[in-house]
Every structure is written in C-alpha cells, then in structure tokens.
Chains A and B, each alone.
Chain A
Amino acid sequence: MKSNKVYSYWLLLPALLIYGLLFLYPTIVSFFFGFTRWTLTDWDWIGLENFRMFFQEPSLMIGFKNTFIFAFLTAGLKVVIGVFLAVILTSKLRTKRFVRSTIFFPVLVSTIAVGITFSVLMHPSEGLINLALDLFGIDGPDWLGNPDLAIYSVALVDVWKGLGIATVILIAGMMSIPRDYYEAIQIDGGNKWDAFRFITLPLSRPAINTVILLALIGGLRTFDLVWTMTGGGPGFSSDLIASIIYKQYQAGFYGLSTAGNVLLFLMVAIVVFPLFKFLNRKEVDL
C-alpha cells in the first residue's frame, strides 16, 4: 500500500482532465440535452419528443436499419474473408509479404480519398467496376444511385478498406498457435481441412472475437465513408445514425442531434457489451 503513494494520481490528472472534460462530460450531458429543444444557449425540456421523432419519421427510422445492416455486414465479411486470407498468408506462400502489404495499405489511406475513388469506380455507365463486369457479360448495377443498393455498396468499400487490419489481427492469432498441434493432427491422419476445422479455427477464436468487436464498434459509428460516397442518399436510403446526427446538427436541431447520439450510445451498449461478455465466456470454455 505504501508503494501506491509513489504512483501519484497527479501523473494521471492531465489525462483525466482532458478526457473527462471533452469526452466523458459531453457524453453524460447528452443524456440530458437529448430530452430538450436546444439552441446551445437555451433549452426547453420536451421529454421523449426527440426520441419519438426518431422512431416515427421514416427518414430517421431508416438510420437504425442501415446502421445495423452496415455494422453486421461489414463485420461478417471482414471475418470470413479475413480468415481465408490469413490462412493463405500463414502458409508457405513466397509472395505473402507483398500480398499482406498490398491488402494492408488501404487501412492507412484517408477515408475521404477512398470514398472519392470508389464513387468514380462505381459510376454506373463509365465506372471501371461495371466495365469489368461487362467483360463477363454481367450488366453491372447503379451501385450508388440505386436506393436499395447504395448502403451495401458503401459497406463493400468499407470492407475493402478495413480488411487489412482484420487480416493482420487474424494472422497474429494464427501465428501464435503452437506448431506441435498441427504435427499431432497429421500423425493422427487428419488432412488440411481437419487441421483448419479443429485447430486453426478454434484456437484463433480470441483473434476472431477481436475482429468482430472492432468491426462492429467501427461499423456502428461509421460516418465519413457514407458521407463522401452518397451523402446519405439517394433520398435517405443510405443514411446511418451518425450521418443523421450530422444532418440534424447542420439543420440546427441540436436536441434532436443529441438524441441521435444517445441512441447510438445505447445501440453500442446493447450490441457490443453483451457480445463482449458472450465472446469472452466462450473463450474460457476452450
């Protein structure tokens, strides 16, 4: 206990001050201002009015649906494709350094740059993607102009950009599996598929869980990619909660915007916290 004195809270204070003032405090007061009509200088308590708006207005309601679709779709694809890539990249491939670097680099490129580039590549008639599909005789869709499709197109681009980090985490997980296990299953007469099913997959579970959680957390709060590629459109068809928060802020509906923030907080809490507990419990079972 005496040694605790050396590790003085004074050293912690600057971090706590900045974090508390500009992150925790705004988060806490959002639970108050979400219930108000707010002009930043003045507020009126209007109870659940803002939240009722969110659930009644179709243009706001769609944000929930899209946010869930976006988060779960990107998380799922990142895990599935990531596991596939990680298995290949932990094999004896000689070009794996090159492949890994190429897949990883988009992680470091600004989202705006990626968004701009892909909006051009996804151009319905002249975009490279549809021209390439034409070669195979496929009539490519209007990726971003079709309201039923726009959010999925943006999700695919998000997977393209974020796949690198997922793959790298999964590679790290697979590399930490002891070689002996693979030798053992070989001696027992198991083939490669058995090795994947019974060793690689269960033992990289912690890494897979990490990827799922990171992708979900990132997906639920995504804003910049959608904003650059579709601006939430056509109409409201690809709006996410985060883009609605921005739109309402721009329109001066600060209370409504803050209510959106509260809802996003609750969504993260409802999806991520239980999943975190659930996934960690599964880990113990192994």
Chain B
Amino acid sequence: MSQANNMTQPVKSVSKEKQKKNAVMIIVETFAVLLCAVFFLVPFYFIIVNSMKTSADAAKLSIAWPTEFRIWDNLVEVIRARDYMVLTAFFNSTVITVVSIILLIIVGSMAAFVLHRRVSKLSRSLSGLFLAGLMIPPAVVPTIWVLEQLNIFKTFTGIILVEVAIQIPFTILLYTGFIAAIPKEIDEAAIIDGCGGGKLFFRIIFPMLKPVHSTVIILNAVTIFNDFVHPLYFFPGSENATVQLTLYNFMSMYNTDWNLLFANVLLITIPPFILFLFFSEKIVSGMAAGAVKG
C-alpha cells in the first residue's frame, strides 16, 4: 500500500518488478471502481436524477441531467397525493417498526437467555423449533385465519405480532451468540447474592447486552420498514397504508409520471441510507455474524 505512494516520486531502489506490480494494482483499482460505479451507482444516480425532472423529461427514462429542477415540487406532490397517503404510510410504518422492535428486544433476549443457559432436552428442542423459523416460509392463509379468530386481522396489533413472530428466530440467534460469551460465573455470583431468575436477567444480563441490542434494533428496523409481503397479507385496507404498500400502489397510479414515482422511491430510500451512513460497520458485521452462526 505504501509502495504505491512511492510511485509519484521515482526512487531508484524500487525495483522494476515492484513498479510493474504497482501498475497492475492501479489498473485493478481503477477497473474495480469503474465496474462498481457502472453496476451499483448508476441505478441510484438514475433514481435521483429522475426524481428531480419534470414529467415530460422523466418520460424519456434517461440519465441525462435535468433541464429543469423540480425535486421540491415533485416531493410535495407525492406527499399530497391521495390525501397525504405517504405521511400516513410513514406514520404507520414507523409505529409498526418501533413497537415490533421493542417487543423483539425484550421477548427475544429473555428467550435467548433461557434457551442458552438451560441445559435440558426440552430447551434444546425448543431452540431447534425457533431455528426452524429461519427456513420455513410462513403459512399465509392460516395466519390470516388465526388473526381473524383473535379479532386482530387488519389491526396494528395483528401486523406487529406477526412481524415479531417472523423476526424472533433471527433475533434469538443474534442474542444467543452474545449471551454465550457472558461467563456463567456472573450468574452464579448473582444467585449467591440472592437474585432470582427475573432479577438476574433484567438487572445484570440485559444491560450487558447493549452491543447486541443496537444490532438487533438496526437490522430489524431495516427488515420491518422494508417489509412488503407481510403488510400486504396481514395489514390490508386503504387506511392501513405502509410505505412499501404505498410505493407499490403508486406504481400503477404514476405509470406515466416517472418523476413522481422516483421521488417516492427516493423518499423511501432515505431512512435506510441514513442508517447505513452511521451504522454501516454494525450492519455489516451483524448480518455476517448472524448468518454464519445460523
């Protein structure tokens, strides 16, 4: 790496071989960045540019620079559409995401604690049962049937509980990995001091899980906010809009106004982008760790 810097100031001691290596490295670098830009940045550039255009301009579907900047008008029009549907959708999605995550943190960490610490046949088979949820696709209509029996179909309670049920296996997986690293001696010391199970967990273990809590929050936030399938099935109805459902519906509504559609795409991509800016390391390591342990 430092050799490359020497390139600019020709030093005689740098052998020809090294120079050749550096040249190859620079070609590889340029090539990698270029390919990456073409394949991965152009689509985003396309979204941004088209969200700024006029309707006629966007109809050309090109990546040309806008002739007239209309980003603000486009955003306002998208937000006003169908009686501020986008705002309702953002509100609904936020409620679903936040409440689901709070439940997942509490319920998931408690479960992971017991599943990891308890040594018995039953707890091992329960672990297996939870892990199976990582692979098995949810049964759609039967879930609707259960929700209807409980009178929570098409309600916030219903969709939130479904999101929790779907995400709990992955959440438990993340917590178990971390709890395994907490020495059992800590439990024993607390037990000797007279702590019961609940107190031990909430007073001592739960605060120690802070690093995983943040991983759990970020990963679940992205998954639940971006979820399209489950709200589609379990949270239907025009007033029950979520951001992804709204975007999907706008696709047929704006099939001639690409500028508005892409303004909506842009709007929806901003929250994950902000998360990525601040927590990219956490997201990447969390996803890789969760996956490898699974």
B interface secondary structure, majority:
helix
- Complex contact A121–B291 (CB within 8 A): no
Give the CA-CA distance A113 to B111 in the complex, in Å.
35
Question: Nearest Cβ in chain B — how far from A148, in angstroms?
Answer: 24
Which partner residue on chain B sits nearest A224 by CB separation?
B228
Give the CA-CA distance A252 to B196 in the complex, in Å.
52
Q: 6 pairs across A/B with beta carbons < 8 Å?
A: A19-B168, A30-B141, A95-B29, A103-B40, A110-B247, A257-B140
Question: Nearest Cβ in chain A — how far from B198, in angstroms?
Answer: 7
In the complex, chain B residues 90-139 whose Cβ is within 8 Å of any chain A Cβ: 103, 106-108, 110-111, 113-115, 117-120, 126, 129-130, 133-139
Query: With a CB–CB cut-off of 8 A, which chain A residues contact B162?
Result: 22
Question: Nearest Cβ in chain A — how far from B188, in angstroms?
Answer: 8
Contact A105 B40, CB 8 Å, known A111-B228, A172-B288, A261-B137: yes
Interface size class of B (residues with CB under 8 A): 35 or more
- Complex contact A12–B228 (CB within 8 A): no
Give the CA-CA distance A15 to B113 in the complex, in Å.
12
Chain A contacts to B: CB under 8 angstroms:
3-12, 14-16, 18-19, 21-27, 29-30, 33, 38, 40, 88, 92-95, 98-113, 116-118, 120-121, 123, 126-128, 160, 165, 168-169, 171-173, 206-207, 210, 214, 217, 220-221, 223-224, 228, 242, 245-246, 249, 254, 257-258, 261-262, 264-265, 268, 272-273
Question: Nearest Cβ in chain A — how far from B75, in angstroms?
Answer: 15
Contact A264 B137, CB 8 Å, known A3-B191, A16-B111: yes
Q: Which of B139, B145, B225, B288 has the most CB of A within 10 A?
A: B139
In the complex, chain B residues 27-76 whose Cβ is within 8 Å of any chain A Cβ: 28-29, 32-33, 36-37, 39-44, 46-47, 60-63
Which partner residue on chain A sits nearest B37 by CB separation?
A102
Q: Which of B118, B135, B261, B269 has the most CB of A within 10 A?
A: B135
- Complex contact A113–B268 (CB within 8 A): yes
- Complex contact B135–A15 (CB within 8 A): no
- Complex contact A254–B141 (CB within 8 A): yes
- Complex contact B284–A26 (CB within 8 A): no
- Complex contact A169–B191 (CB within 8 A): no
- Complex contact A224–B113 (CB within 8 A): no
- Complex contact A120–B61 (CB within 8 A): yes
Give the CA-CA distance A104 to B172 in the complex, in Å.
24
Which partner residue on chain B sits nearest A125 by CB separation?
B61
Q: Which of A121, A171, A242, A257 contacts B137 (CB 8 A)?
A: A242
Give the CA-CA distance A38 to B142 in the complex, in Å.
10
Query: With a CB–CB cut-off of 8 A, which chain A residues contact B133?
Result: 19, 23
- Complex contact A257–B39 (CB within 8 A): no
Comparing B11-19, B77-85, B272-280, the segment that makes contact with chain A is: B272-280
Q: Which of A14, A22, A26, A210 has the most CB of B within 10 A?
A: A22
A interface secondary structure, majority:
helix
Query: With a CB–CB cut-off of 8 A, which chain B residues contact A92?
Result: 1, 25
- Complex contact A10–B47 (CB within 8 A): no
Query: With a CB–CB cut-off of 8 A, which chain A residues contact B126?
Result: 12, 16
Give the CA-CA distance A223 to B130 in the complex, in Å.
23
Question: Nearest Cβ in chain B — how far from A19, in angstroms?
Answer: 5
- Complex contact A117–B47 (CB within 8 A): yes
Which partner residue on chain B sits nearest A11 by CB separation?
B110
Give the CA-CA distance A109 to B152 in the complex, in Å.
29
Chain B contacts to A: CB under 8 angstroms:
1, 4, 25, 28-29, 32-33, 36-37, 39-44, 46-47, 60-63, 103, 106-108, 110-111, 113-115, 117-120, 126, 129-130, 133-148, 150, 161-162, 164-166, 168-169, 172, 187-188, 191, 196-198, 200-201, 222, 225-226, 228-229, 232-233, 243-244, 247-248, 251, 258, 261-262, 265, 268-269, 272-273, 275-276, 280, 283-285, 287-289, 291-292, 294
10 further interface pairs, Cβ-Cβ under 8 Å (given A108-B222, A113-B268, A116-B265):
A11-B198, A24-B129, A26-B146, A94-B1, A99-B32, A105-B276, A112-B228, A169-B287, A257-B140, A257-B141
Query: With a CB–CB cut-off of 8 A, which chain B residues contact A100?
Result: 284
Query: With a CB–CB cut-off of 8 A, which chain B residues contact A273?
Result: 135
- Complex contact B135–A217 (CB within 8 A): yes
- Complex contact A14–B107 (CB within 8 A): yes
Question: Nearest Cβ in chain B — how far from A259, in angstroms?
Answer: 10
Question: Nearest Cβ in chain B — how far from A62, in angstroms?
Answer: 19
Contact A113 B113, CB 8 Å, known A19-B133, A103-B40, A106-B40: no
- Complex contact B146–A22 (CB within 8 A): yes
Query: With a CB–CB cut-off of 8 A, which chain B residues contact A113?
Result: 47, 247, 265, 268-269
- Complex contact B141–A258 (CB within 8 A): yes
Contact A18 B107, CB 8 Å, known A6-B197, A108-B283, A169-B291: yes
Query: With a CB–CB cut-off of 8 A, which chain A residues contact B108?
Result: 15
Which partner residue on chain A sits nearest B287 by CB separation?
A165
- Complex contact B258–A7 (CB within 8 A): no
Contact A116 B261, CB 8 Å, known A23-B138, A110-B268: yes
